[in-house]
Structure 1
Amino acid sequence: MTDRTYTERWRSYLNTAGSGLQSRETRKAVADYLTLEGTVGSYFAERAYAELIEEGVYRSLAELFNCDRDDVAMSDSATRAWHSAVAGLTLTARDIVWTTPYEWAGNLLLLRNLQRTAGFSLQEIPCTPRGDVDIDWCHRHISDRVALISLTHMPSCTGAVTPLGPFSELVRDRRTLLVVDACQSAGNVPIDLTATPVDLLTANGKKSLLAPRGTGFAVMSSRFRAGAEPVSVDVHTHAFAPGGGIRRLTESARRFELGEKSVPAFVGFDTALRQARGNDWDRTAALSRELRERAGRIPGLRVHAPGTQHTGIMCVTHDRLTPERLWHALCRAGVACWLIDGAHTPNYLLRAGIDHAVRLAVGPRTTRGEIDYAIGVLEEAGGPRATVPALAQRKREWSA
């Protein structure tokens, strides 16, 4: 039987966009570390795992994303990694920062705060009528004043994937920095940072990389690091020099890290990253397409899926059921999904008049059986009586 960690509720786990289910090997790696830590103490346990913590997890991440280990900085979340890096840039009133309608609210909030002090202009790249970020518009409007392009690789509310290649070419030989939020795409689509270099890519481990919560990272190009200074510094990357000056202990991206981290979580992260190299990207895309197409044929169900390239995520609303009622019906029937807030992707969802929606997300280990079950629940939940008693009574089929 395929390894799963479902509770008694879940017969179909479609909440990977919130948090993925860790493999047995990842859970064991964390448990083994915690057992040692409980025996010898956290400092000595960390020393016993020094190679993995100081080199191994960086090596695993660099191999998965085809980047240099010196470009990698670890963090406790994608948001903190993004904030720490972008806040370290020096932006001026002459500069322009581009975002897209799919920008995560947490990133927009930081940019708005930075704008108040730095005075730069915020502009939004429009989308094409089909919902793709308009690269042709970018080519027509790019100038040396555009200091930064903030690109969401895959939004948290829809599986619309923006290809990195055209934007990587757009900023080539320009001062413009390309900053990519890959929080939802990492682990869902292949990302090769040698083939499509960017200046900053951030993500976390808990979603499609199927790692423990409290893990995140940033990959920073050398030119990004040359123009940025961490807002907060720590003694493992900086030190006082004679005379009171401060010297760097490293020129790598690690100077953006803080010394304290959840070591057991990063031990599990290393295992999850190595397993992610075996992800079947085409299979995930095919299951995502099947879920989206079959859901689109259910009467009364509205699938919100802009753009021409999709994988992983879709959000739905219903003509007769409120999003909250639909979400509760799915969860009661054993389909793990999430009720999302339109304010978290305000420039897409709120503009479309969607204040809440139900998000269903396919992950690397989703099965076709889970898709079949979820579609059955969606069909029954939206039926004349909008109840799911028969499905709710079925027993659990999965074990830990």
Structure 2
Amino acid sequence: MSLLDVARARLDTPGCAEVVHLNNAGAALAPAPVLDAVIGHLRLEGRLGGYEAAAVAAPQVNAVYEAISRLIGCLPGEIAVVENATRAWDMAFYALRFGSGDRILTSRAEYASNVIAFLQVASRTGARVEVVDDDEHGQLSVRDLERRLAADVKLVAVTHVPTQSGLVNPAAEIGRLTRAAGVPFLLDACQSVGQLPVDVRKLGCDLLSATGRKFLRGPRGTGFLYVSKRLADTLEPPFLDLHAATWTGQDTYEIRSGARRFENWEANYAAKIGLGVAVDYALSWGVEAIAERVTALAARLRRRLGELPRVTVQDRGQRLCGIVTFTVDGESAADVHRRLSAAGINTSVSAVTSARYDLGERGLAAVVRASVHYYNTDEEVDALCAALQRRNFRSDIRSPRCTS
């Protein structure tokens, strides 16, 4: 188990005193520095006015790009800060050009929003969507991807860590193949950034989308897009405003250089500043240490769940992360979620409508999703398992203030 100071992390996290929060893949509990930054800027806007507060906070806003660049190993100019991960992903995907017969390769783990976008573009353009096979471990088969890569493949788009499972897709191996083939690689890192080390240079992706609210512990309504410098100025965003472009003449405009062409002018400055603070906060703990702690806690949870009658752990993959999914015989995932919630334990449900390629293929209507973070404890993991063992869930479980 990591030597990370869990007691200090919990003292920094007001929500730890209120609830057993095992829904970090949905939205993690924000630490006090993030809360203070967001509330502080809102108060500044209340005192000075929105535009004036933004001018005062300009150094903090610019620092957000620096922080994200350190987090994922890129240049500040390769980052666009946007409203959420889906907007980031959409801005990248819809900037790419597809024609009849072009092929888009993706994984079985893909999220519904991404697949809907694939299908829309396929309907509009005549492009084809192909799902790469899984390997024997349940992750994307690198061998099948290599077999499918050809001149008519215009994009490989893969989810790093899916919403409905603890698997980690082999992104670096995918990046190696796409670089060799000269095919753009779009990585949805919504669930991996913040819980695992993510370095875009090592992964070899050209585009990456991520959110602030999940494992980064930032505010809701924040996300970012990485666009490699070599690719950024070749892509035209699906829509523009006076931030993304300059009106240069009566009938002309010029798109700005770099990733910020994918932003728009209006922004929630308080949330944007909070995102930067969240990234700095994660870096202060060390992403490697976070990953070690999260992975160990999740392994404990899978082990404990595996000891319970009627409970089946549903995670697949050779490498697993902090997301743990399971089902309970004779009970729907929604019912289990409601009972755990009544016991003061936050979890989530991943339904087939969010991951039809995967859950549908496995005959699963839904799974319960418990997702741990470094501020969670062994006792909280055990509390979830104890609640599952009880026939009648009690509502008296409260999070221990700090331990292990």
Pick aligned residue for 2:125 from 97, 101, 118:
118
The residue that corresponds to 1:19 in the other structure is: 27
Counterpart of 1:336 in structure 2 is 346
Name which of 316, 339, 344 aligns with 2:326: 316
- Alignment check: 8 A CA contact 1:89 1:227 kept: no
Choose which of 36, 43, 57 in structure 1 pairs with 2:51. Answer: 43
Query: Alignment partner for residue 373 of structure 2, among 363, 372, 377?
Result: 363
Question: 1:244 and 2:244 equivalent?
Answer: no
Match of 2:393 among 388, 391, 400: 388
Aligned residue among 4, 11, 15 for 1:6: 15
3-state SS, counterpart of residue 241 of structure 1? strand
Task: Work out whether 1:377 is the aligned partner of 2:380.
Answer: no
Match 2:193 to one of 181, 186, 192: 186
What is the distance in 2 between the residues matched to 1:343 and 1:47?
43
Counterpart AA for 1:212: P
Q: What SS does the corresponding residue of 1:147 show, helix, strand or coil?
A: strand
Contact 1:9/1:333 (<8 A) preserved: no
5 Å-filtered alignment, 1:226-305, equals: 226-248=233-255, 250-277=256-283, 278=285, 279=287, 280=289, 281-305=291-315
SS, match of residue 43 in structure 1: helix
Is 1:211 equivalent to 2:221 in the alignment?
Answer: no
Q: d(CA) in 2 for partners of 1:203 and 1:215?
A: 9
Q: What one-letter code is carried by the residue in structure 2 that aligns with 1:270? A: G
Counterpart secondary structure, 2:156: strand
Cα gap change, 1:330/1:394 in structure 2, threshold over 3 Å: closer, same or farther? closer
How many angstroms does 1:324 deviate by?
A: 2.0
Q: Partner of 2:113: helix, strand, or coil?
A: helix
Query: C-alpha deviations, 1:335-358, integer Å up to 9, x for none?
Result: 110122221011011222222221
How many angstroms does 1:283 deviate by?
1.3
- Show the 5 A alignment for 1:52-131: 52-53=60-61, 55-131=62-138
Asked whether the 8 Å contact 1:220–1:253 carries over to 2, the reply is: yes
Summarize deviations over 1:253-287 as a string: whole Å, max 9, x none: 00011111111001111110001112421111111
Q: State how far apart, in whole Å, the 2-side matches of 1:332 and 1:347 are.
A: 31
Task: Provide the residue aligned with 2:162 in structure 1.
Answer: 155
Query: Structure 1 residues 314 and 394 mapped into 2: Cα distance closer, same or farther (>3 Å)?
Result: closer
- CA gap of 1:172–1:182, structure 2 versus 1, over 3 A, is same
| Contact preservation (8 Å) 2:139, 2:170 | no
- d(CA) in 2 for partners of 1:325 and 1:238? 50
Q: What residue in structure 2 maps to residue 139 of structure 1?
A: 146
Q: Distance in 2 between matches of 1:364 and 1:215?
A: 21
Deviation track 1:317-368 (CA, whole Å, cap 9, x = no partner) reads 1112222221112111111101222210110112222222211001232222
AA aligned to 1:393 is: D
TM-score when normalising by structure 2 = 0.93
Q: Are the aligned partners of 1:96 and 1:122 in contact in 2 as well (CA < 8 Å)?
A: yes
* Closer/same/farther in 2, CA of residues 288 and 395 from structure 1, 3 Å limit: closer
Supply the distance in 1 between the matched residues of 2:340 and 2:213 (Cα, whole angstroms). Answer: 22
Distance of 1:243 and 1:56 partners within structure 2: 35
Tell me, yes or no, if the aligned pair for 2:379 and 2:400 is still in contact at 8 Å: no
Give 5+ residue unaligned stretches, structure 1: 381-385
Question: Contact (CA 8 Å) 1:100, 1:125: kept in 2 or not?
Answer: yes
SS class of match (1:217): strand
Measured at CA, do residues 395 and 288 of structure 1 come closer, stay the same or move farther in structure 2, by a change above 3 Å? closer
Gaps of 5+ in 2: 1-6
- Structure 1 counterpart of 2:227, from 220, 226, 242: 220
Distance 1:349 1:137 in 2: 20
Quick one: distance in 1 between partners of 2:146 and 2:397?
Answer: 55
Distance 1:222 1:58 in 2: 14
Aligned length: 389
C-alpha displacement at 1:175, in angstroms?
2.8
Say if 1:373 and 1:229 are closer, same or farther in 2 by CA, change over 3 A. same
TM (norm. structure 1) is: 0.93
Question: 2:59 and 2:176 mapped to 1: Cα distance?
Answer: 37
Of 257-266 and 369-378, the range deviating more from structure 2:
369-378
Identity %: 28
* Separation of aligned partners in 2, 1:197 and 1:175: 11
Deviating above 4 A after TM superposition, structure 1's stretches of 4 or more consecutive aligned residues are 394-399
After superposition, give the CA deviation of every residue in 1:8-55 in whole Å (9 maximum; x if it has no partner): 862x210001000000111011111111111111110000001121x2
Distance 1:302 1:195 in 2: 35
CA distance in 2, matches of 1:223, 1:368: 45
